Amino acid sequence: TTDYETITVERTGDRTALLTLNRPKALNALNLQVMEEVVAATEALDRDPDIGCVVLTGSAKAFAAGADIKEMQPQGYMDMYLTDWFTAWDRLGNLRTPTVAAVSGYALGGGCELAMLCDILLASDTAVFGQPEIKLGVIPGIGGSQRLTRAVGKAKAMELCLTGRTMDAAEAERAGLVSRIVPADDLLPEALAVAATVAGMSKPVAMMAKEAVNRAFETTLAEGVRFERRLFHAVFATADQKEGMSAFVDKRAPDFTHR
Ligand code: CO8
C-alpha cells in the first residue's frame, strides 16, 4: 500500500482500514489516477478477510472538489467513450465490504458522487454537498443524477443539478443524504468508531445486510422483500448466527468468527 501517489491507506486496527484522498493542491480533485488507486486499494481491502469495514475520507477543507476539471477540459466525445471515462468508479459501489464516507469540507460533483457510492455517509458540520457540473457545461457522470435523486428526492435533486446550488451539512442531513453530522474535530474518530462497530459484526452477515439494503434501490418492494427473506434464511447457515444467538442467551458478548 505504499506505492500509491494520490491516496494513503492504513490499517487502523479493529479490522478497519482508512483510505485518505491526498491531492491537497487540487482539493482532492478526482483524476483518473485517483480513480485507479481508490479502486485498486479498496478492492484489495475487500478481498482481505481481516478487514470488516473501510473508511474513505479527504482533508478538513475538501473531501473532494469534484472530478478533475483540468483533465477533462480537452477531452472529446471519442476520448470519453473509448476510455469509458469514470466507469471504473462503479466498482467502488460493488464492493461487498461495508464502507463509510467521512466528509469534511467540499463534496462537490464527483466528490458528492464518491460519498454517495459509500454505504454510510457521515458529515462534519463544515461539509458542503452539491452537483455543480451544470456550471461547467456538463452533467454528473458518476451516478449523481441517480443516487442524489434516490437519496433526497426529485425536488432537491432537480434544483441542485439545474442550478448548481450547494447544500450545507444541516440541509444534507434534513434531506436524508447523510446519516449524521459530527463536529469537524470528531469526524475521523467517529467514522473509525462506526467502522469498528460494523467490523465487529459477522462479516458475511454484514455483507448480506448491505446487499439487502442496496437491493431496495434496484427492485420492487415485493421482489426486495423476497430477496431479504432468502438472505434471512441463509444467515441461519452461518456459524455466526449460532454464536450471536447463543451469546445472547448466555448473557455474554459474541465472539464472531466471520464464517
Ligand atoms: N478539478 C481540478 N482542479 C480543481 C478542482 C477540480 N474539480 N477543484 C479545485 N481545483 C484546484 C483549483 O484549480 C486550484 O488549483 P490552482 O491552485 O492550481 O489554481 C486548487 O484546486 C484550489 O482551488 P481554489 O483556489 O478554487 O480553492 P477555493 O477555496 O477558492 O474554492 C471551490 C474551492 C469552491 C471548491 C472551487 O475550487 C471550485 O469551485 N471547484 C470546482 C467544483 C466543481 O465544479 N466540481 C465539479 C467538477 S465536475 C464533476 O465533478 C463531474 C463531472 C462529470 C463529468 C462526466 C464525464 C463523464
Q: Is the pLDDT confidence value at 2 over 80?
A: no
Q: Are strands 106-108 and 62-64 parallel, antiparallel or unpaired?
A: parallel
pLDDT of residue 199: 98
Among protein residues, the one with the nearest Cα to ligand 1's atom 43 is: 66
pLDDT of residue 179: 98
* Ligand 1 closest atom vs CA 80: 57
Report the Cα 146 to chain-centroid distance in Å.
Answer: 15
> Among 52, 58, 110, 111, which one carries the catalytic annotation?
110
CB burial of 174-191 (b: ≥16 within 10 Å; e: otherwise) equals ebebbeebbebeebbebb
Does ligand 1 come within 6 angstroms of the Cβ of 256? no
Instruction: Give the whole-angstrom CA distance, residue 118 versus residue 55.
Output: 9
Ligand 1 centroid from CA 250, angstroms: 55
DSSP string for residues in 78-142 = HHHHHHTTTGGGHHHHT-SS-EEEEE-SEEETHHHHHHHHSSEEEEETT-EEE-GGGGGT----S
**pLDDT of 133-192, one tens digit each?**
999 999 999 999 999 999 999 999 999 999 999 999 999 999 999 999 999 999 999 999
> Among 26, 102, 127, 133, which one carries the catalytic annotation?
133
In single-letter form, the type of residue at position 111 comes to G
In single-letter form, the type of residue at position 121 comes to L
**Candidate from 21, 63, 69, 90 with most ligand 1 atoms within 8 A of CB, to mutate:** 69
pLDDT of residue 81: 98
**pLDDT of 25-55, one tens digit each?**
999 999 999 999 999 999 999 999 999 999 9
Among protein residues, the one with the nearest Cα to ligand 1's atom 17 is: 25
Q: DSSP E strands: which ranges in 126-250? A: 128-130, 167-168, 180-182
Concerning whether 110 is annotated as a catalytic residue, the answer is yes
Q: What is the mean pLDDT of residues 62-85?
A: 98
Concerning whether 243 is annotated as a catalytic residue, the answer is no
**pLDDT of 205-241, one tens digit each?**
999 999 999 999 999 999 999 999 999 999 999 999 9
Locate 139 and state its grid cell: 452533467
**pLDDT of 54-65, one tens digit each?**
999 999 999 999
Q: Are strands 16-21 and 62-64 parallel, antiparallel or unpaired?
A: unpaired
Concerning whether 133 is annotated as a catalytic residue, the answer is yes
Q: What is the length of the chain?
A: 259
